[in-house]
């Protein structure tokens, strides 16, 4: 099932004032005049994900009959989505307008930006544009889904310009926690829009390639209609530390480990972090083993494409760790967020088949818990400590830095780009609101700032930002191989089962007489322990016999009425005796 907002069938094309307008950014400056465009020209933008939420980023840009998409990510389910594996955007709006869609541009290779691509391509096969590493990671996903052969993948580089109908899109290099991340300069007859993607300003990046602030500033001098900027760290003051500081922390901590085995848990996509771990391991003459499927894939792709510099004979398979003493090993693993099925969680709880935690382990959790994951991370830390493991997870050790810009970096980008309109993206409401306040403090008129929501559809011209009717949007749940077949009804049943359990009533009835000739048998799961509740089960059995006898009509055989009455009576009795509401499932067989 799909949770969605359905738009009204109204047309909102209004008349535009043709008078020339100039950017009003503190002072009017004619040198900052927008690209020549008539006032009636406008760009429409639809937010299919990444607004008022963390993850599943997806934005659609439209000009007349041309459309293109930026990113197609996923989100990981919260604890309330029982049994759900992944959450992806609703693609209804894309399918409805497929004839207009010119392509999909991916800003970088993180799951919240590429994780939904395979599910989109199962519905519509559109061209995909991304940088080298991002294409490599996308190929791995499409290969798993059997979609690689027919996919239209185009490798592009920072500085390249892509023509998508009336749109001309330039890729601009930015720093992030994964290489090959880009921001976008989107040119159209209505003006230029800058879409930063996820970024930070790192003056000493691990790969040596600093964000291209010069190019952003050049667009700012020419005139920018609107800025769509990453809001993830909008609440954090100051600057984000350089990724290189983590490498220095690793060097100090690895030496403190002494003769213990070192285990480092990090995000599977943080290739810079993996590189720094390998570099320090080489200095200390330790072998490196990688645990976790997603991390193994990243290392393989990164090494093949030249983004990881792996010295010869330093990497070993997880099966080989038994051949080395603890002081000669570094294990890199997934599970920095305490995910239940991750390698580190299995190691902590003694469930991993090949790696066991011992008191001679030195575990470094190189990540900050995502909001909502704190308890899961805490559980993993506690389990490791119970086994005598020393765990380094506190912020004071500087074993993790964010890949997103903090307030001073956000303001610096605004100052360079000087947009007329500002739209904060990629964040929950608190992030978007804080980001909007920063923009206002930078001199952008409050009426020129738009704080949106998923499903919003807006029209941007030099005259202003105009809300249009919302587009279909929301969450589609992926459970196993099922996509969209788990909705609110199924989830409510799962919550009910997890809370109060289930009682199954099975009876065999003779069709001619209506007599119960077998049963009713009472089966309880997740409700009470039957052997200790025999009186309760016997009472339920007697009540079931009476209800069936009183309500069965062998002439009309209205099974639904009998089952409904049985559910009501048993449910009432169970609540009176236990103050619980188990799910009641009657099963009748007529012979």
Active-site annotation, residues: 230, 404
User: What secondary structure letter does DSSP report for 319?
Assistant: G
How many CB atoms sit inside 10 A of residue 237's CB? 8
* Residues counted in the chain: 591
Q: For residues 501 and 571, what is the distance between their CA atoms, to the nearest angstrom?
A: 12
C-alpha torsion sign, points 146, 96, 98, 110: negative
Written as six digits, the tokens of 586 are 């009657």
Q: For residues 471 and 89, what is the distance between their CA atoms, to the nearest angstrom?
A: 12
Q: Phi and psi (nearest 5°) for 2? A: -115, 125
Look at residues 416, 402, 371 and name the one whose alpha carbon lies nearest to residue 183: 416
586-to-94, 261, 514 alpha-carbon distances in Å: 43, 56, 16
Q: Number of helices (H) and strands (E) in the chain: give both, helices first.
A: 15, 29
Q: Phi and psi (nearest 5°) for 460? A: -115, 125
- Longest Cα separation, the chain: 94
Q: Which residue spans within 413-554 are E strands per DSSP?
A: 419-425, 457-461, 464-468, 474-479, 482-483, 502-509, 516-525
Q: Are 162 and 103 in contact (CB under 8 A)?
A: yes
Written as six digits, the tokens of 449 are 């700032």
Look at residues 437, 387, 447 and name the one whose alpha carbon lies nearest to residue 414: 437
Look at residues 49, 42, 88 and name the one whose alpha carbon lies nearest to residue 66: 42
Look at residues 366, 367, 362, 355 and name the one whose alpha carbon lies nearest to residue 391: 362
Class of residue 586 by CB neighbours under 10 A (exposed 0-12, middle 13-18, buried 19+): buried
Q: 106: phi > 0 → left, psi -120 to 50 → alpha, else beta; which?
A: beta
Q: For residues 70 and 60, what is the distance between their CA atoms, to the nearest angstrom?
A: 6
Q: Are 366 and 400 in contact (CB under 8 A)?
A: yes
Written as six digits, the tokens of 282 are 């080489």
572-to-413, 535, 564, 579 alpha-carbon distances in Å: 63, 16, 12, 9
Q: For residues 453 and 432, what is the distance between their CA atoms, to the nearest angstrom?
A: 10
Q: Which residue spans within 74-209 are E strands per DSSP?
A: 86-89, 101-105, 128-130, 153-155, 161-164, 167-173, 182-188, 191-195
Q: Are 48 and 89 in contact (CB under 8 A)?
A: yes
474-to-148, 174, 422, 492 alpha-carbon distances in Å: 27, 29, 24, 18
194 Cβ contact list (under 8 Å, min separation 6): 183, 184, 185, 186, 216, 219, 224, 226, 227, 228, 229, 417, 419
The secondary element (H helix, E strand) that includes residue 49 is strand 43-49
Question: Is the bond preceding residue 401 a cis peptide, omega within 30 degrees?
Answer: no
């Amino acid at each position: 099932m799909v949770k969605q907002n359905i738009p009204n069938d109204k047309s909102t094309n209004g008349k535009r004032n043709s008078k020339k307008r100039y950017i009003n950014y503190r002072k009017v400056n004619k040198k900052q005049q927008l690209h020549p465009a008539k006032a009636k020209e406008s760009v429409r933008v639809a937010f299919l994900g990444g607004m008022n939420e963390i993850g599943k980023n997806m934005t659609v840009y439209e000009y007349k009959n041309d459309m293109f998409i930026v990113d197609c990510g996923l989100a990981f389910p919260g604890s309330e989505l029982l049994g759900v594996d992944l959450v992806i955007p609703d693609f209804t709006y894309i399918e409805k307008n497929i004839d207009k869609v010119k392509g999909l541009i991916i800003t970088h290779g993180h799951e919240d930006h590429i994780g939904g691509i395979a599910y989109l391509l199962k519905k519509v096969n559109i061209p995909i544009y991304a940088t080298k590493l991002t294409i490599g990671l996308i190929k791995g996903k499409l290969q798993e889904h059997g979609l690689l052969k027919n996919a239209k993948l185009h490798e592009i580089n920072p500085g390249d310009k892509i023509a998508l109908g009336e749109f001309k899109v330039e890729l601009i290099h930015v720093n992030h926690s994964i290489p090959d991340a880009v921001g976008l300069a989107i040119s159209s007859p209505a003006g230029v829009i800058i879409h930063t993607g996820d970024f930070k300003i790192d003056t000493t990046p691990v790969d040596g390639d600093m964000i291209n602030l010069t190019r952003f500033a050049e667009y700012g001098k020419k005139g920018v209609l609107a800025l769509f900027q990453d809001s993830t760290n909008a609440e954090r003051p100051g600057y984000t530390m350089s990724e290189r500081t983590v490498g220095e922390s690793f060097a100090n901590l690895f030496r403190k480990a002494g003769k213990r085995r070192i285990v480092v848990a990090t995000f599977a996509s943080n290739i810079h972090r993996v590189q720094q771990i390998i570099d320090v391991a080489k200095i200390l003459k330790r072998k490196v083993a990688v645990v976790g499927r997603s991390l193994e894939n990243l290392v393989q792709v990164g090494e093949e494409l030249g983004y990881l510099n792996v010295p010869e004979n330093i990497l070993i398979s997880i099966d080989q760790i038994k051949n080395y003493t603890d002081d000669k090993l570094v294990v890199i693993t997934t599970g920095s967020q305490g995910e239940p099925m991750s390698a580190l969680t299995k190691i902590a709880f003694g469930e991993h088949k090949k790696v066991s935690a011992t008191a001679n382990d030195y575990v470094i959790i190189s990540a900050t818990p995502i909001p909502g994951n704190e308890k899961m991370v805490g559980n993993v830390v506690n389990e490791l400590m119970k086994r005598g493991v020393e765990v380094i997870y506190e912020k004071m050790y500087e074993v993790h830095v964010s890949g997103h810009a903090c307030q001073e970096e956000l303001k610096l980008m605004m100052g360079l780009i000087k947009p007329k309109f500002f739209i904060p993206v990629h964040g929950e409401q608190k992030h978007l609101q804080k980001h909007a306040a920063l923009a206002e403090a930078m001199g952008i008129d409050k009426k020129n700032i738009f704080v949106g929501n998923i499903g919003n559809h807006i029209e941007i011209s030099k005259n202003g930002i105009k809300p249009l009717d919302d587009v279909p949007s929301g969450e589609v749940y992926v459970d196993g191989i099922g996509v969209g077949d788990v909705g609110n009804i199924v989830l409510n049943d799962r919550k009910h089962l997890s809370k109060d359990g289930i009682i199954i009533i099975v009876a065999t009835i003779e069709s001619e007489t209506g007599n119960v000739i077998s049963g009713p048998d009472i089966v309880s799961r997740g409700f009470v322990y039957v052997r200790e509740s025999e009186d309760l089960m016997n009472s339920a059995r007697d009540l079931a016999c009476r209800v069936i006898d009183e309500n069965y009509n062998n002439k009309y055989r209205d099974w639904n009425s009998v089952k409904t009455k049985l559910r009501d009576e048993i449910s009432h009795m169970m609540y009176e005796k236990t103050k619980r509401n188990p799910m009641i499932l009657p099963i009748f067989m007529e012979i």
